[in-house]
Chains A and B, each alone.
Chain A
Amino acid sequence: MSSSPQSCFETRGLTKVYGEGDAAVHALRGVDLQIPEGELVVLLGPSGSGKSTLLNILGGLDSASGGSFRFRGEELSEANTSRLTHYRRNHVGFVFQFYNLMPSLTAEENVDLVTEIAPDPMPSLEALDLVGLAERSHHFPAQLSGGEQQRVAIARAIAKRPDVLLCDEPTGALDSATGIRVLRALLDANERTGSTTVIITHNAGVADMADRVLFFRDGDLHEERRNAQRVPPESLTW
């Protein structure tokens, strides 16, 4: 047994309730989990099971209703807005299903947005190179395909060398070939920058590329699995 690495995320009894009274929706019902530093984790589960809710809390986009959430040992469940902004700015990279690029900025400028405010960024072109888009750095989003746009979004997320990279269905809007390119980019980023990476997906096949797979059901962690070996994206059964 190797010594267990320091955990990046740790939650205890994490709950999230939307609304109140009869209309209350319990999106998270006391989640306890630990995600070690540097791992690539895939989050699986049926729609509505609370995956996005969890990811948003981990990324500082939303706050929990109860329980505790620590990032590298620091309690963040009670943090205020500007503390969370600071946390996102310095530590977190996000990738969403819809790419959310700035249409008025070129690919490179979209990445610049991040490199200009991050404490220790990589050059924007290097980030674009990592996702295989260095040649298209001067193109505007309208001139890029969906998969390319998503890879720009990944470049934007990794350019700050984030400690954690959170991806909510990054391949959800893409065909399989393009999806594989995107997953490859995420894997490369994880390997080169050492970011702890959490990927939500609908696609159970994707789980094979992870160090750890978390199965969600009804707002709680239902099952956790460790893969002995990561399968490269190109070999995944889609």
Chain B
Amino acid sequence: MVGLKVLDRKLLRNLRGMAGQGLAIALVIAGGISLFLLMAGMTGSLSETRRTYYERYAFADIWAPVVRAPESLRADIRAIDGVRALETRVRDAALLDMPGMIEPATAEVISLPDHRAPRVNDVHLSEGRLPDPGHRSEVVVLDAFARAHSLAPGDEISATLRGRRVELEVVGVALSPEHVYAIAPGQLVPDDRLFAVLWMSRDALAHATDQDGAFNEAVIRLMPGASEDAVIDTLDRLLAPYGAPGAYGRDLQFSDVFLSSELNQLVTMSRILPPIFLFVAAFLVNVVISRIIAVEREQIGLLKAFGYSDLDVLTHYLKLVGVIGLVGLLLGSGLGIALGRWMAAQYAQYFHFPFLIFRADPTTFLLGALITLIAVLGGAAMAARSAFRLRPAVAMVPAPPADYSRAIGASISKLRLIDPQSRMVLRQLFRFPWRGGLTLLGVAASIMLLVSTLFFLDSMQVMIDTHFYQANRYDVAVSLVEPRERRAFHELARVPGALTAEPYRHVPVRLRHGPREETIALIGVPRDAMLSRTLNAENEPVEAPPGGLVLSADLAADLDVELGEQVEVETTQGRRMVRQLPVSAIITSYIGSVAQMELRALNRLLEEGAVVSGAYLVVDPAQNLALFEELKAAPGVAGVALHSLAAENFKAILDQSLGWSIFVYVLFSGMIALGVIYNSVRITFAERARELASLRVLGFKRGEVAYVLLGEIALLTLLALPVGCLGGIGLAFYLSEAMASDVYRLPFVIHISTFAAAIGVVVVIAIGSGLIVRRQIDRLNLVEVLKTRE
């Protein structure tokens, strides 16, 4: 230690003496910093990646689907004020029969302009080349799908497009900004095997779908500052005669909605979690430094008497916490980066970018360091003030015994019922209410985080159960290329393995109520439908008078409409008509929005006779092979949504990545409890070693002595349990509100087992900390402690 100043040597010894506590604090700091880096870094990486990707590949601002519009309309669209770039294209659905997979894969087929790159929604070729307009069978395949099926340029794919079997040849593999989050219809989480995007030359696709000289979707990029709403309005008017269900912006573009909701979640969590950790760290630093200063009171007086300045003394203690802060910062940075990389890899499984690297930029690091500094120094400065103020003459005299006479708890001495040990516990609490209160809050914060984290699992479980097993109880939804008469349904009901079947009708509509307008598919289902049920929040079936509209609560809220009120329904395809319908029921839906009505009433409304768009099927899984063989070959079938598989995929994601994230959060929340409780018992032990030794000398047994010490933290922990659970309920409610999106809503449900688990974690930590200190009580050297003056 040559070269070190004496004070620095003392600092090192101090640190060695409090290694356990210092580490516990450093861990809490590390928890806060790593979460901050993880979330801030991930938010930054994700939004920056998205921004450059969208920019470089000219991601659209507006999508305007139609049934069929003449190419000559281009000029009119191009002329709309605010349109920067326009691309017209053909977009259709196909079913793919992939070797080695029983289920049909669903494909979205999109045209690419001939002989040039798209001006809007360009693709990023990762392999091969673009289709040659001269060869109508050439396609480029979505990267994730190609990887899932080991497809490479030169491979062949059989597809059913518009009911016609076509053989396609893969010439390239690509990613696109429209398909960052790419999922098959009916799925919620990506299953790369099930969903493909195929890009074909405009000429080839138009030919295959009878769109020669026409388009069925316009995609538009806006000028900076242009009004999206205004452009959409103009577009809708312009395209109305061509069967336009309504143009929409990025807020309804599926992939972007998912990406945005993920970013929103990250931002929400990053506002809540790191600050809690850093507040707790500040508190712990304060408590520990206060304690050290109390112990070193006379040393401080001595140093000052020797001529060390107040500032020297202050800096000495700040250096001490500086070291703890630095350890926390370093640990947290390492952990944050490791977690960030892991999380980026998780994201890369679900969000497909040509590039996604987790990168916390220097500003994020600086900000993290700054926050640590503020938390740690803030906590220390409050404590060090007293050392700063201490006059040498005062410091040299031992501190008088703490005065308990004026504490509120003194009156408890009148209560003869309470034994002296319990009285010591209570008075200790009342004497230092701030410290006790903050300890309580620290433990409660840990429980709160545990409850609100585990709430996600409860909530998602209810979401899955309601959506997949209570409301929509089919395994497969089969959609027809065009609405067909009821006979088509009876054919579907007879496919191999079909146990139960229910028809449905699907009509794109615009719903209006006052100034509000929503675009949605109105679904007609039979009365007393068993496979697609309408439920209230208690999962009970909702009886709706026929002829009215059944809306999900989120949709009703968006339209600002209440039960019994009239809504204007405008159909946008086929025969266009406008009707007023009453809202006959409002139901609960956690995933997507629902607009339903009775099938026959809908058909009457549309004046099209008894037609269906498809069927929901419950199938015998043993016969899947035959079933899907038949569906893949059936000419009238446009799509097959694999509902039960979606449920399985969703559950798998809960178990895997979400399960892991939650494990990490639980670990971090536990770190708070550990930091607070362990430090608290250690400090109480240090402060009261003398009292405890006296009790031992008086003949108290070790257990009785431990009670005096641990009773306090036990009581605080006990009080913190309900506070933490209430806080957890509040935070969970806030999160369920803050994270709701058009895609899904988190039901506000917390199981008893969640509270039990949260309480269990904290109680185990409390008992563990208690046992460590209990061992120290057992080893307490009575003679040593008592022969010294405090």
Contacts and interface: CB of A to CB of B under 8 A. Distances in A.
Given A52-B787, A98-B786, A142-B400, A92 B424 contact: no
B420 A113 contact: yes
Interface in A85-119: 85-86, 88-90, 92, 94, 96-98, 100-106, 109-110, 112-114, 116-118
A96 B699 contact: no
Interface residues of B, number: 35
B401 A141 contact: yes
Contact of A113 (B405, B427, B690, B695): B695
13 contacts: A61-B783, A85-B702, A102-B691, A104-B402, A104-B423, A105-B423, A112-B420, A113-B698, A116-B420, A117-B699, A117-B700, A142-B403, A143-B405
Contacts of A71: none
B428 A104 contact: yes
A141 B401 CA distance: 7
A195 B26 CA distance: 54
B697 A61 contact: yes
A147 to B, nearest CB: 14
A156 B783 contact: no
B405 A89 contact: no
A31 B410 CA distance: 48
B575 interface: no
B691 to A, nearest CB: 5
Nearest to A111: B420
Given A61-B697, A102-B691, A113-B698, A96 B786 contact: yes
Nearest to A118: B699
A102 B419 contact: no
A88 B402 contact: no
Contact of B423 (A59, A82, A97, A109): A109
Interface in B678-722: 690-691, 693-702
A139 interface: yes
Contact of A56 (B400, B419, B699, B783): B783
Interface in B386-440: 400-405, 410, 413, 419-421, 423-424, 427-428, 431
Nearest to A114: B698
A171 B695 CA distance: 21
B303 interface: no
A102 to B, nearest CB: 5
A172 B400 CA distance: 17
A228 B701 CA distance: 41
B405 A140 contact: yes
A228 B788 CA distance: 36
A116 B787 CA distance: 26
B648 interface: no
Nearest to A144: B401
Contacts of B786: 96, 98, 100
Interface string A18-50: 000000000000000000000000000000000
A100 B790 CA distance: 9
A142 B402 contact: yes
B690 to A, nearest CB: 6
B269 interface: no
Contacts of B696: 85, 88
Contact of A85 (B423, B699, B783): B699
B700 A142 contact: no
A129 interface: no
B188 interface: no
Tell me which of B401, B427, B431, B788 has the highest count of chain A C-beta atoms within 10 A of its own C-beta: B401
Contacts of A104: 402, 404, 423-424, 427-428, 431
Contact of A109 (B401, B413, B782): B413
Interface string B754-790: 0000000000000000000000000000110011111
Given A85-B696, A100-B690, A142 B405 contact: yes
A89 B698 CA distance: 6
B424 A98 contact: no
A138 interface: yes
A56 B403 CA distance: 30
Given A85-B696, A90-B699, A113-B420, A106 B413 contact: yes
Interface in A210-230: none
Nearest to B425: A104
A103 B404 contact: yes
Contacts of A90: 699
B615 to A, nearest CB: 77
A154 B717 CA distance: 37
A62 B785 CA distance: 13
A89 B697 contact: no
Given A102-B691, A109-B420, A109-B423, A94 B697 contact: yes
Contacts of B702: 81, 85
B691 A88 contact: no
Interface in B361-405: 400-405
A118 B699 CA distance: 9
Contacts of B690: 100
A189 B492 CA distance: 104
B403 A102 contact: no
Contact of A116 (B419, B424, B701, B790): B419
A105 B699 contact: no
B414 to A, nearest CB: 10
Q: Nearest 3 CB-CB pairs, A to B?
A: A89-B699, A142-B403, A103-B401
B401 A88 contact: no
Contacts of A109: 413, 420, 423
Contacts of A102: 420, 424, 691, 694-695
